[in-house]
Structure 1
Amino acid sequence: MSDAVTDTASSEAEHRRQEALEVSGWGERFEFVQPHNLSFWVYIALTAVGAFQAWAFFAPGAGFYAEGFAVSAVLCTLCGLAWFAWFRHIDRWERQPGRLVAAALLWGAIPATFAFAMTVNTAMLSIYPKLFGQAWSANWAAGATAPITEEAAKLCGFILLMSLAPRLIRTANDGLILGAFIGLGFAMFEDFLYAANATARTFGTDPVGNAVHMSLTRIAVSFVSHPLFSALVCAGAVYLIGTKAQARKVGRGLAFVAAGVFLHFTWDDATGLGGGNPLLLFGVMCASVVIAFTVLTIAFRRAAPREYQFVRDILAPEVDAGFLTDAEVDGVLDRKARKAFRASSPNRRARKARKHLRRAILDLAHDIASAKGADTEAVRHSRAEVERLRAEDGIRQPLDS
């Protein structure tokens, strides 16, 4: 009877794992080249248009301002790499495949920036002064244009990526992470565009100084920029569309999309909202920063439970076999449980081991997903790493030891 109960529990745990892998898409590979998918050709065509537009914009001045352009490119790239490393660090649940991340970055950098946003923004910004005057345009034109055109441009790329990777992009967390990468590509090239324009506007006078000044100015405010805006918009889009893994929630989706657009507006039109008063301008920017990170935190917390459930289900057979405990899995997912687990360590070495144990358990979940639940060499290696960390100074030994 006991063996029958055990077999039933094991069967249920395996069923939970396989269902989670099917619904979540964890461990799926991404193939960018899809000749039979229309979205692939749309992506390629718009990227080609963006590349042509970028060449047409930069090529005439490249020879005259090469030094300033080079300095700007280096500074903007270094900033972008720092943010890239951070985004990869927080991509802790379903790790987005490198090719999918590259496609997101490329869309933000080339098609969204040059095929869409720059073309439409230039046209609109030339119309506003004629309709409303120079004073109004100086304060409000950017916010009346960019939040709509630029967020729509980035969102178009995200929709294309959803159709190219329908089994990978399924949750709001996927929208947050990939939206951030799309926004990062956009921000890097927009920052470079501003720096290049600053060099060209002075007709080559102190090109390096102007390039450095503008690049550092843009970098200084990059913590509230396109990655944050598009992360919210793309997460909202996932809620609006709904997927096999994410229930459709229209109200929440509209709220996150509106939040991304609104925050973009407050950042672009901070001068107008400040009414020309430097102190009020500073207050507007501070308020925008606080609201931005508050909404972003809410977005991640709303997205987390779905990812938590996937982790629990993927690791269910490991818990059922006694290799992991529910408390250890809770320590991976729950902040309070994690702090309590580390605080109960008998010494510093054990605290350090328990800190790394969380990452090791997540690595095990990722390796199981990549193996589709099979007992591969990578899975066995991850189990061995969990055992090694657990064995150090007072951490619970596996039940079968």
Structure 2
Amino acid sequence: MSADLLETRSQALEATAWGEKFRFIQPRNIVFWIYLWMCGVGVVKAWQMFAPYSGYFGQALLVAGVVSVISAAVWTWWFRHIDRYERQPVGLVLTGFVWGASAATFTIAISGNSALGSLYSKLFGQVWAEDWHAGLSAPFVEETAKGIGIVVLLALAPRLVRTATDGLLLGAFIGLGFQTSEDFLYSVVGATQGFGAHQTDGLIGSIALRAYSDIVSHPLFTALFCAGVIYLIGTPAQPRRIRRGLALIVAPILIHGVWDSMLALAGGNSSIVLVVMVGDIIFALTALWIAFVWAHPRESHFVRDVLAPEIESGVLTDDEVTAAGGWRQQRAYVRAAQTRPERRQRRHIVRAALDLCGDLAVSKGLDSPEVVEARNEITRLRHGIAAGSQSSVGTSSA
């Protein structure tokens, strides 16, 4: 392999820190102790809030907890699925999730929202505060509380939080933690309405409402916000982009504010509420798509740098490395195949190329047993395509 290509690979792995481990216990890092204190305070406040309901409302709390866990598991599977390149260490992901579920929710957001609500009532009156409190407090307080989480992760793992994609994915898990606690909180509120006379009915209604509203919720908001923080701060792998950073920080605040103020904005008109809701969803999904479009070229560039020596050695082709760099490139590569089995095998090759990229990251570019096995798997898949193509041609000729 070319020395220049190997050096470029080494530089890419150094810049991204792909494959490195996360160490949570850092007694010499003041942020570690701040994290423990903030999350500990959140856990204590959550216990103080829910413990009085554990007797009479025990069944409702259990059901709400189970539903919250299932919801979190489904979202976790999805977020890990779209983590296309080198996946973040599980420990780092859990650290972000716990921040969102405890510190951001119970230590900061609940107190901050209550304080702003009280202030709005005193300044503008109770009626105005009821209409606009949610839309003019939660977006600022909650997005800031969750956004602090990515700064904490940057301080705990500066070599692992490097790109806008890292901000998007870790932000999504921070938001998922917040959403899980919020869903549980609202489910309990629903179960306790009417002095608990119809716990199940109230709980089911709350769960259904939260499941619907979670389509545009905290994982999306926080993913955008945290990617914006990465752009705003800049890292060795991500040059500072102030305009992008500000845009991605403002966007979720605006989306969140409109979502929480739909009834006030529409004046109670259900038709206008529907229009505002659809418009906000479209804007939110568009903003998320733009964020991934902005982040993609940087990650794709690093993938090519890591896999370029494999092209020279004949393990991968240029088209396969290009396909590994993005969903759009992968679709084009797969659709160019002649037969369905070949398309299926091409998908496997792209996945195997990404696995090879991950193994190379772990081994720091060395030929570890995992790297050798990944290369052998790619060769096997390619021979399978060739055999399948020849079989198809032979059948057609016959």
- Equivalent pairs: percent with the same residue? 45
Counterpart of 2:18?
Answer: 26
Following superposition, the deviation at residue 396 of structure 1 comes to: 11
Quick one: which of 324, 335, 338 aligns to 2:330?
Answer: 338
Note the residue ranges of structure 2 that are not aligned, 5 or more in a row.
390-398
- 1:166 paired with 2:158, answer yes
Quick one: which of 354, 360, 363 aligns to 2:355?
Answer: 363
Counterpart of 1:86?
Answer: 78
What letter is aligned with 1:253? G
The answer to whether the 8 Å contact 2:348/2:381 transfers is yes
Counterpart of 2:145?
Answer: 153
Query: How do 1:1-400 residues align onto structure 2 when only pairs under 5 Å count?
Result: 10-335=2-327, 337-394=329-386
Secondary structure at the aligned position of 1:266 is classed as helix
For residues 388 and 361 of structure 2, the distance between their equivalents in structure 1, rounded to whole angstroms, comes to 25
What letter is aligned with 2:8? R
Backbone CA RMSD of aligned residues:
1.5
What's the TM-score, normalizing by structure 1? 0.94
Note the residue ranges of structure 1 that are not aligned, 5 or more in a row.
1-6
The answer to whether the 8 Å contact 1:71/1:208 transfers is no
The answer to whether the 8 Å contact 1:50/1:113 transfers is yes
The answer to whether the 8 Å contact 1:108/1:183 transfers is yes
For residues 210 and 253 of structure 1, the distance between their equivalents in structure 2, rounded to whole angstroms, comes to 41
Secondary structure at the aligned position of 2:384 is classed as coil
Counterpart of 1:4?
Answer: none
What's the TM-score, normalizing by structure 2? 0.95
The answer to whether the 8 Å contact 2:342/2:388 transfers is no
Counterpart of 1:3?
Answer: none
For residues 369 and 336 of structure 1, the distance between their equivalents in structure 2, rounded to whole angstroms, comes to 24
Spell out, residue by residue over 1:262-298, the C-alpha distance to the aligned partner (whole angstroms, 9 max, x if none): 1111111111111110000111010000000001000
Higher fraction of helix: 2
For residues 241 and 388 of structure 2, the distance between their equivalents in structure 1, rounded to whole angstroms, comes to 41
Spell out, residue by residue over 1:331-362, the C-alpha distance to the aligned partner (whole angstroms, 9 max, x if none): 22255543343233342222111111111100
Secondary structure at the aligned position of 2:195 is classed as coil
For residues 197 and 335 of structure 1, the distance between their equivalents in structure 2, rounded to whole angstroms, comes to 42
For residues 376 and 278 of structure 1, the distance between their equivalents in structure 2, rounded to whole angstroms, comes to 61
For residues 362 and 301 of structure 1, the distance between their equivalents in structure 2, rounded to whole angstroms, comes to 19
For residues 41 and 329 of structure 2, the distance between their equivalents in structure 1, rounded to whole angstroms, comes to 51
